[in-house]
A and B are shown apart, each in its own frame.
Chain A
């Protein structure tokens, strides 16, 4: 009797194909939707000062600083179609930074800078929710990105 039988061979092959398909989908999505995990950048103190930088009409840098128990800046106004680079840091414990509708999902860590890029193509109010336990005020820790039509600003 051979070591593995016919159905086992088949199952191994199917498993291989399925895994291949998954990996292909990840790479495809990464390319097509520019979906990626946060970027890795070394610590830089200049990034830990909360502020919004407008680079040009539709490009922004947001330096978001999480602390017990708020995000600064807490309201971020940008026009529809803007591309935003978020630089995230923490003044104290670990915090989360989640914008569900845009699949932005980062951890804010003391002594570290997290970074991701998103485009906001639809007007609306996007909540930024802290989703890592950060002490007694954790449940209050929300901020907003307000995406408006350019003329209403």
Chain B
């Protein structure tokens, strides 16, 4: 369909800004593997300190890229599937809030005033602009939801008995989850962290951590759902088949709405002051989120099998050989399938993390980054970069630069991540810590803390990291190469979408939000009231401010 210049511009900038920043984010990924393997025994390289780099890496890759993309992709899906455009003003206000927020946070990080990592746990203090910037990014990303809700209601009035398009359902579910979970982190940032960082109050650290993780687990589904939308709505079509079951997609999405948030305490299994029963209960609820994932795994595999069979495959697994893995005109298939393969391992290792006392084995070891580079840096990242190229090329009417390279990038990335994560996870199982500049001590043969067991594990991670780096740089070349080409084709907003193989009749329950929102609220209250109660009542004194280089608290302004 044809869309307005304004919408195009918003989408292009929302895609282009994070991809530009990604150069910096990816550079630090590679650097971390170099330090950790012991090839750098310093605290900094080229004037950027390890944890300053790690903060940039986490914030750019996992917050800025994912949020900007989710908004851009949301605009595209809502517009394309509802055949109407978002409100211009709302779109631009949201855009500028996010850009200003990114600018503030980037300044604080680059100036070395906020090396507090993307989880910004107090009482390690960052510059107030870092917190303010984060808050602006979040608030900016809320605005589209309200406008999209308006678009949906308008569409609903015109189409009272049509099933809501799956991509629209996915976008709305995703941003409802995002809105609810970010309320907690907005409270943490604006009410607890900002005044504390300015020296106006001390802070209850456990409460801050609990609010952060109320947000933090749902955050991972906010990363994931745009990729899920692509798996359900687009992948079957790209494979040359149909979506096995339309209803399965709807059920999975609504289950995410219910279970994404009330499970955050599973990130605090090792924390003090939160009851074991609460931890166990939220661990159980976490298994609730495995159900939509199992449903998805089956439905997508069945859809791909159907596509393979339609392409004339034989035998039980023959369909796997018939899929269009290297079709340059159909490169989104490559990005999505490579991501799915990584996600098999990402999902399985995630179940390990969620398994209550099993978490003791791996919590905060390098197993964790090993796991989540197969989720957020796996299907999520590949879906994001693939779709960024796709959307940009379509909407600008340009041909892809280096199409043959473009189609092998996802496989190269996949191989890199598999090697990289194997190294990290193996290391984690033998105690290699995450968030540690290992090159300074543990991987420095001249240091008394040198730990030879971690040599092979960090070397593997380095090898994988180099391959990932090459793949990511090739993507940057393809993306900007495409931008610098001349428009040759008609510029349109067009997304692939699959027909359903089982196109079930409309079931009203799966076509409305209200009952699900009410259930969601109830489960959250049940799961989080006791956790917050513990976080408020069990801790003792509140903490002042500390900076990375100084064990003496910064009491400059007001004490008590």
User: Is this pair of chains taken from one and the same complex?
Assistant: yes
Tell me the A residues contacting B by CB distance below 8 Å.
Answer: 1, 3-5, 7-8, 11-12, 15, 18-19, 22-23, 25-26, 29-30, 35-45, 67-69, 88, 91-94, 96, 98, 100-101, 103-107, 109-115, 127, 129-136, 138-140, 142
B195 beta carbon closer than 8 Å to chain A: no
Contact between B434 and A131 (Cβ–Cβ < 8 Å)? yes
Q: Which residue of A lies closest to B504 (CB)?
A: A3
With contact pairs A42-B537, A92-B553, A132-B364 given, residues A22 and B287 touching in the complex (Cβ less than 8 Å): yes
| Among B80-88, B381-389, B395-403, B538-546, the stretch in contact with A | B538-546
Q: What's the Cα separation between A57 and B295 when bound, in Å?
A: 55
B441 beta carbon closer than 8 Å to chain A: yes
Q: What's the Cα separation between A70 and B157 when bound, in Å?
A: 64
**Which 9 pairs between the two chains have the least Cβ-Cβ distance?**
A43-B540, A100-B431, A131-B433, A114-B272, A68-B551, A15-B294, A112-B272, A35-B357, A135-B548
Q: Of residues 30 to 46 in B, which have CB atoms within 8 Å of A's CB atoms?
A: 43
With contact pairs A135-B124, A136-B549 given, residues A23 and B287 touching in the complex (Cβ less than 8 Å): yes
Q: Which residue of A lies closest to B125 (CB)?
A: A93
Tell me, rounded to whole Å, the shortest Cβ–Cβ distance linking A30 to chain B. Answer: 6
Contacts of B211 in A (CB 8 A): none
Contact between B273 and A105 (Cβ–Cβ < 8 Å)? no
Q: What's the Cα separation between A109 and B361 when bound, in Å?
A: 20
Contact between A19 and B287 (Cβ–Cβ < 8 Å)? yes
Contact between A36 and B357 (Cβ–Cβ < 8 Å)? yes
B96 beta carbon closer than 8 Å to chain A: no
Instruction: Please report the total number of B residues contacting A with Cβ < 8 Å.
Output: 74
Q: Which of B270, B287, B358 has the most CB of A within 10 A?
A: B270
Q: Which of B43, B51, B205, B275 has the most CB of A within 10 A?
A: B205
Question: Which of A19, A22, A43, A107 makes the CB contact (< 8 A) with B538?
Answer: A43
B355 beta carbon closer than 8 Å to chain A: yes
Q: What's the Cα separation between A15 and B297 when bound, in Å?
A: 11
Query: A105-B363, A106-B270, A112-B205 are known contacts; what are 14 more A-B pairs with Cβ within 8 Å?
Result: A12-B295, A23-B287, A30-B356, A30-B357, A40-B272, A40-B274, A42-B538, A42-B540, A101-B431, A106-B272, A131-B433, A131-B434, A135-B547, A135-B551
| Among B148-156, B227-235, B276-284, the stretch in contact with A | B276-284
Q: What's the Cα separation between A53 and B43 when bound, in Å?
A: 38
Contact between B298 and A26 (Cβ–Cβ < 8 Å)? no
Q: What's the Cα separation between A23 and B276 when bound, in Å?
A: 16
Contacts of B534 in A (CB 8 A): 40
With contact pairs A93-B546, A136-B548 given, residues A105 and B433 touching in the complex (Cβ less than 8 Å): no
Contact between A92 and B539 (Cβ–Cβ < 8 Å)? no
Q: What's the Cα separation between A12 and B269 when bound, in Å?
A: 29
With contact pairs A4-B247, A110-B543 given, residues A104 and B360 touching in the complex (Cβ less than 8 Å): yes
Question: Which of B272, B357, B441, B539 makes the CB contact (< 8 A) with A107?
Answer: B272
Contact between A107 and B355 (Cβ–Cβ < 8 Å)? no
Contacts of B247 in A (CB 8 A): 3-4
Contact between B540 and A111 (Cβ–Cβ < 8 Å)? yes
Contact between B361 and A105 (Cβ–Cβ < 8 Å)? yes
Q: Which residue of A lies closest to B117 (CB)?
A: A133
B502 beta carbon closer than 8 Å to chain A: yes
Contacts of A93 in B (CB 8 A): 121, 123-124, 546
Q: Which of A29, A39, A138 has the most CB of B within 10 A?
A: A138
Tell me the B residues contacting A by CB distance below 8 Å.
Answer: 43, 51, 54, 117, 121, 123-124, 204-206, 209, 245, 247-248, 269-276, 279-280, 283-284, 287, 290-291, 294-295, 298, 302, 351, 355-361, 363-365, 430-431, 433-438, 440-442, 449, 502, 504, 507, 534, 537-543, 546-551, 553
Q: What's the Cα separation between A45 and B539 when bound, in Å?
A: 11
Contacts of B270 in A (CB 8 A): 37-38, 96, 105-107, 114
Q: What's the Cα separation between A94 and B360 when bound, in Å?
A: 17
Contacts of A91 in B (CB 8 A): 551
Tell me, rounded to whole Å, the shortest Cβ–Cβ distance linking A134 to chain B. Answer: 8
Contacts of A94 in B (CB 8 A): 121, 123-124, 205
Q: What's the Cα separation between A76 and B119 when bound, in Å?
A: 32
Contacts of B543 in A (CB 8 A): 92, 110-111
Contacts of A18 in B (CB 8 A): 294
Contact between B549 and A135 (Cβ–Cβ < 8 Å)? yes
With contact pairs A26-B355, A100-B430 given, residues A133 and B436 touching in the complex (Cβ less than 8 Å): yes
Q: What's the Cα separation between A95 and B123 when bound, in Å?
A: 11
Tell me, rounded to whole Å, the shortest Cβ–Cβ distance linking A10 to chain B. Answer: 9
> Can you list 16 contacts pairing A with B, beta carbon distance less than 8 Å?
A4-B247, A18-B294, A19-B291, A22-B287, A69-B551, A93-B124, A105-B361, A109-B205, A109-B272, A109-B539, A113-B273, A114-B270, A114-B272, A114-B273, A131-B433, A133-B51
Contacts of A136 in B (CB 8 A): 43, 548-549
Contact between A133 and B435 (Cβ–Cβ < 8 Å)? yes
Q: Which residue of A lies closest to B49 (CB)?
A: A136
Q: Which residue of A lies closest to B433 (CB)?
A: A131
Contact between A132 and B360 (Cβ–Cβ < 8 Å)? no
Contact between A139 and B440 (Cβ–Cβ < 8 Å)? yes
Q: What's the Cα separation between A142 and B534 when bound, in Å?
A: 30
Q: Which residue of A lies closest to B293 (CB)?
A: A15
With contact pairs A23-B284, A29-B357, A92-B551 given, residues A111 and B542 touching in the complex (Cβ less than 8 Å): yes
Tell me, rounded to whole Å, the shortest Cβ–Cβ distance linking A124 to chain B. Answer: 14
Contacts of A67 in B (CB 8 A): 551
Q: What's the Cα separation between A123 and B433 when bound, in Å?
A: 24
Contacts of B433 in A (CB 8 A): 96, 98, 129-131
Contact between B502 and A5 (Cβ–Cβ < 8 Å)? yes
Contact between A135 and B546 (Cβ–Cβ < 8 Å)? yes
Contacts of B507 in A (CB 8 A): 3
Contacts of B542 in A (CB 8 A): 111
